[in-house]
Amino acid sequence: MKQETAYSLARAQYAEIGLDTEQALGQLDKVALSLPCWQLDDVTGFEPKPRSLAGSGLAVTGGYPGRARNVEELRRDADKAFSLIPGRHRLNLHSIYGEFPGRVERDRFAPEHFAGWIDWARERGLGLDFNATLFAHQESQTGFTLSSYEEPVRRYWVEHVRACRKTSAHIGRALGLCCIHNLWIPDGQKDIPTDRFERRELLGRSLDEIYETSYPAGEMKDAVESKLWGIGSEAFVVGSHDFYSAYAHKHGLLLCLDTGHFHPTESVADKLSAILQFSSELLLHLSRGVRWDSDHVVLLEDPLRELAQEIVRIGLGRFHLALDFFDASLNRVGALVLGSRAVLQALLIALLEPKPDKADDNLSRLARLEQAKFLPWSAVWDEHCRRHDVPTGMKWLNDVRQYEREVHNRRK
């Protein structure tokens, strides 16, 4: 069956239950996912002497060939990934991905170190997002940064985040597209602490100093990201969900929810409607934890579909959506493509969900939702891909394999 015919039949089936597939595709076109550059090089970055992730609460497992080793290779890989994902999206940079003339201390990072990224994004009409990098550094080896008792250490990281916010605003201004600056810190303790209050008091003081400088919302927006636990911070994480929820609400910041940063039995989807009663926007980092915060590539599974349903029901315009995983056990470009397409597919399925009827009883509502599972959303997805001139079905995998043979396999 020709793709156009399959879509026409699907469009008619959805119309029978009062849904307009063209409207759904129009809404999906407006979604701009922010892809993690760190998936392409295993969170290595481009500082002159990259530092180990050991002790940072992060771990990248696997040794698949083809890791990007420099900025040119990473940009080439990003271009390939974008070419296989329908729509126009964004790239999310950690600050260690700047182009540095030599050793530059992180508290001295500046907009000029990211001029090449701005030119690259402008040529492609892409937006950029940004993250301060408070891990894999000699000044974070104790496990504490913004909550450190050592004033020189705390001051160092305050100045680093200030520099990153200044760079974020510059990026947003230069591109004419708001840049989201997200803050995650590795601060925590492996075993039982006795100073939770003091540590969080220090973090609050550091954040107050960081955010005392404001920037236009059209240039940059600030987000803070919590975590339940990490490697080396099993007993205590300073930047917990409760702490950042309160701080973000008090100071008008975006709250960032990483779907891998909660207990495996906890529903992130259920949190959205609660938080957005008191906030206008929310940043989501989409990941997939397997037994722990393991940053697996996102797949079209029930937790993602439930999250997408809540996003659509609340309103797509209130969310900033980013992927956040780093997996070296598979082709890194393919992981970005697979994860991005899964998120877009989940959103499309949610956009094609029957609209609630206030007169429905519980049985009728559930029956409507169950019947929708039989409708041909995949034909609508293929039409979305066709309109954006990207491969449908599994055809994108052939492109990734060819790129692997021609590019990745030549990297030694």
Catalytic residue IDs: 184, 225, 227, 258, 261, 285, 293, 295, 324
Residues 6 or more apart whose Cβ sits within 8 Å of residue 411: 65, 66, 67, 69, 73
Q: From its phi and psi, is residue 176 left (phi > 0), alpha (psi between -120 and 50) or beta?
A: left
Q: Which amino acid is at 187?
A: D
C-alpha count within 13 angstroms, C-beta hemisphere, residue 206: 31
One-letter amino acid at 205 equals R
- Non-local CB neighbours of 164 within 8 Å, separated by 6+ positions: 95, 109, 130, 131, 132, 133, 181
C-alpha span between 51 and 44 (Å, rounded): 8
User: How distant is the alpha carbon of residue 307 from its chain centre?
Assistant: 14
What CA–CA distance (Å, rounded) separates 10 from 7? 5
State whether residue 184 is helix, strand or coil: coil
